[in-house]
Amino acid sequence: MSYPTPVSLHNVELHPGKPPILHVDTADDAPAWAAEHHRALRTLVTEHGAVLIRGLRLRDAERAGDTLHRLAPALMTDKESFAPRRTYTPGVYSSSAWPPNQPMCMHHELSYTLQPPGLMLFACLTAPTTGGATAIADAATVLEALPSDLVHRFEQEGWLLSRTYNGEIGVPYGEAFGTDDRRAIEDHCRTAGIEFDWQPDGSLRTRQRRPAVTAHPVTGRRCWFNQIAFLNEWTIDPEIRDYLIDVHGAESLPFNTCFGGGDTIGPDIIQLLNDTYAAHTAREPWRAGDLMLVDNVRTAHSREAFQGPREVLVAMAEPLSR
């Protein structure tokens, strides 16, 4: 079957403050349309950093999951996640569980792993009443806008992520690593360059150092690529942060970031990073049936606070090697 809507750069709507939007009409068979046009769509993502596809009518998990698999047949397994997800089908997940009234600030998915995804896929089954957009920001532009001395330090040192898997907030280690077998977890940590330490109470603490800036695998352009702001203690709701420190101690927060050499990152730097992202953010409210493809290196994404039910499926593909 052929489809009357060609996928080309000329079909994409470009407006300031919005992601590129491609309008299509695939009432009959969205998965087949996706399979036919997946190479052209990937070209659009490389060209623009992201593309929101409107008109696919992805209103149920089966149709959406099939479409995601046609766009990227080799979907990745979520590993080392920081928040719970529901699995729909292999490689297709719910959005990370996070309080609706608290935004998830800009980040690059799994940028703390050795093999982060190069491509993110989002399918909206149910749009929230208000808010809840998956906003985006160009990572190369953000890098250029940051103070050069701060960028230089992060380029020299990288960034350090520390995690405590205590089961109170975030995912338990069995879910994050896909197993409760301590030896298997230790083997994964050694392979992935993660320092680990089992605590007397049975919890697990880890530390991993990663680069903060990377070159895009296709264009070679330098991109700000990390989760320094999102996983920092100053991003946690203040009341929750204070409670966790009172109960567990400052060293046992579920996650925190610092400079690669171990120095603390203060709230002023986190505010600067988030303000820089905000100045370069593009957003478009979700509509039920929408699909968005995001280049995970060139483009950071966030999830804004929302009201009402929101169901967005997530898939990851094209693992990178560092």
145 domain-assigned: no
pLDDT category at 46 given cuts 50, 70, 90 is very high
Residue 114 lies in a domain: yes
Q: Enter the pTM of the model.
A: 0.93
In-domain check, residue 144 = no
131: three-class secondary structure by DSSP:
strand
- Cα–Cα distance, 187 to 313 (Å, whole number): 30
- Looking at the fold, whether 105 and 214 belong to one and the same domain comes out as no
Shared domain check, 195 and 96: no
Structural domain includes residue 103? yes
Q: Specify whether 130 is located in the same domain as 27.
A: yes
In this structure, are strands 21-23 and 50-58 parallel, antiparallel, or unpaired?
A: parallel
Distance from C-alpha of 313 to C-alpha of 127, rounded to nearest angstrom: 11
In a domain, 6, yes or no: no
Residues 311 and 232 in one domain: no
Domain co-membership, 223 together with 285:
no
Report in angstroms the alpha-carbon separations of 263 from 147, 165, 251. Answer: 18, 22, 13
167 in the same domain as 257 = yes
Residues 225 and 304 in one domain: no
Question: What is the average per-residue pLDDT within 48-71?
Answer: 94
**CA-CA-CA-CA torsion for 179, 181, 185, 186, nearest 10 degrees?**
180
In this structure, the answer to whether residues 271 and 289 fall within a common structural domain is: no
80 falls within a domain:
yes
- Whether 67 and 58 have beta carbons less than 8 Å apart is answered as yes
261, 165: one domain: yes
Around Cβ 2, how many Cβ atoms within 10 Å?
Answer: 5
Domain membership flag for residue 8: no
pLDDT at 237: 82
Q: Both 104 and 170 in a single domain?
A: no
In this prediction, residues 6-18 reach a mean pLDDT of 77
Position of tokens 């593309």?
A: 51
Do 200 and 294 belong together in one domain? no
Three-state secondary-structure class, residue 145: helix
For the stretch 99-155, pLDDT in tens is 899 899 999 999 999 999 999 999 999 999 999 999 999 999 999 999 999 999 999
Q: Note down the domain range covering 31.
A: 20-139+281-319
- What is the token pair recorded at 209? 């150092």
Give the chain's domain count: 2
Mean pLDDT of the chain: 92
Confidence of residue 53 (pLDDT cuts 50, 70, 90): very high
291 beta partners = 53, 123
| Domain of residue 200, CATH code | 3.60.130.10
Tokens at residue 76, please? 């990745």
3-class SS of residue 57: strand
Whether 61 maps to a domain, the answer reads: yes
**176 plus 269 within the same structural domain:** yes
Question: Coil, helix or strand for 322?
Answer: coil
What type of residue is 43?
T
| 92-96, 154-158, 243-247: which is most confident | 154-158
Average pLDDT over residues 7-19: 81
The full DSSP string for 187-222 is HHHHHTT-EEEE-TTS-EEEEEEE-SEEE-TTT--E
CA distance 235 to 252: 16
